[in-house]
Amino acid sequence: MKEFFEFFSFADANIRYVTLGSVLLASSSAVVGCFTLLRKRALVGDAVAHAVLPGVCLAFILSGTKNPFILLIGAFVTGWLSLVAIDFITSRSRIKEDTAIGLVLSVFFGIGILLLTSIQHSGNAAQSGLDKFLFGKAASLVGEDLITFSVVAVLLLIAVILYYKELTLLCFDQAYARTIGFPVRGLELLLTTLTVFAVVVGIQAVGVVLMAAMLITPAAAARFWTENLKVMLVLAAFMGAFSGIAGAFVSYTAPAMPTGPWIVLIVSMIAILSFALAPRRGWIARILRQRRNKTRILEENLLKLLFQLGELRQDYEASRSLDDLLERRSIPPKQALRGLQKLKRQGYLKKENQRWLLTTEGEKRGRRVVRLHRLWELYLTQYLNLASDHVHEDAETIEHIITPELEQKLLEELNYPDLDPHSARIP
């Protein structure tokens, strides 16, 4: 607890620099990463992150100083050139974007390693610490770094706010944006520039190796929680900021632990939890939804089966045994029994002497499933010209997902028919 209060009191200037710097870097890159993710260009961040290394080295060689602003200018130039190179290769050749990214990434990173090695053997005493751009060194951030990063982070956020509508349209409907006169090429260059800025501003914290994770991971995690882009941007920024604070705190309490990798590790843990626990798109929600759908399909199949058996003698109140049902449809006995018991609890069935019969509500629901099945069969034969003996399997699936609105539309399109393609009455 002592370390906790010492850290969050921010009395130590170094703690303030590292924490605020990490928060700014993580949140600003996460916001830009949302647009990169939605544009399906997640690997671009990795290419830019590796391509900035030669720019950092060239800036140091030409200036002879480790001034963060000068190094960031060099990183920005080569990072931006890498994206231009990727676009040039994909537009002027048959090489696909993922291959072009791999080529540019490896070439630029190879040049950067050569330049870094040359600097390290040059005997220049000022070169100490340049290798931190490979793996990051957030714990070494000082006031001068913080000012530079703050300016870049604020510029990124201002650009996103000012061009939010245009960037949104670019991500979701580029063709429409071009049709209504938006400068699509200019917007692509703007997003490219923002992406490069976001990567450049984060490499000193997490390094070129891990920067792609800071750009994409918060955005991917936020995407699981919402369908609204504004909410996604806020969530991604919050996740990035939290991971920045948490990474700095872990590094403070365990000095041997590097800040940058811990930031990436924490945001990755947040992403894993999001992938699993998000209420609509998460793994658990998807599994539960699939299980509910399977249960509903089983219930509707049982009700449909009881209704069809009642159709044979126009006696919907007759009771049926489990064996009677299994003779007509292949359902595992235990699964069928669970379904029947659940329908009884819901009030759709009654049980008398180990036999099952429809209630009034059960008859209505069974009639509707049969009606949807036969309407869809008729629609397929009339509008898609399918043979009547080829439509049953498709109708078996579709009958469970047709909404009341679509049911009404089918009735209108088919002119309220009485018979299905097999001359069976449509209830």
Predicted model pTM: 0.78
pLDDT at 220: 92
pLDDT at 209: 66
Mean pLDDT by 10 residues, the chain (427 residues): 72 75 83 88 79 85 78 84 87 85 88 84 64 61 69 85 90 86 85 82 70 86 92 93 86 76 88 91 91 91 90 84 86 90 91 88 92 92 87 89 91 90 88
Instruction: Name, in order, each residue with C-beta under 8 angstroms of 361's C-beta and a sequence gap of 6 or more.
Output: 347, 348
Pair 212, 46: CB distance under 8 Å: yes
- CB burial of 40-64 (b: ≥16 within 10 Å; e: otherwise) equals ebbbbbbbbbbbbbbbbbbbbeeee
Pair 258, 22: CB distance under 8 Å: no
pLDDT at 120: 77
Helix residue ranges, H only, 314-359? 322-328, 333-346
| Rg of the chain over all Cα atoms, to the nearest angstrom | 31
Structural domains in the chain? Answer: 12-215 (1.10.3470.10), 286-413 (1.10.10.10)
pLDDT at 50: 82
In 3D space, the residue among 49, 237, 212, 207 whose CA is nearest the CA of residue 138 turns out to be 207
pLDDT at 215: 85
Surface-to-core class of residue 188, CB atoms within 10 Å of its CB (0-12 exposed, 13-18 middle, 19+ buried): middle
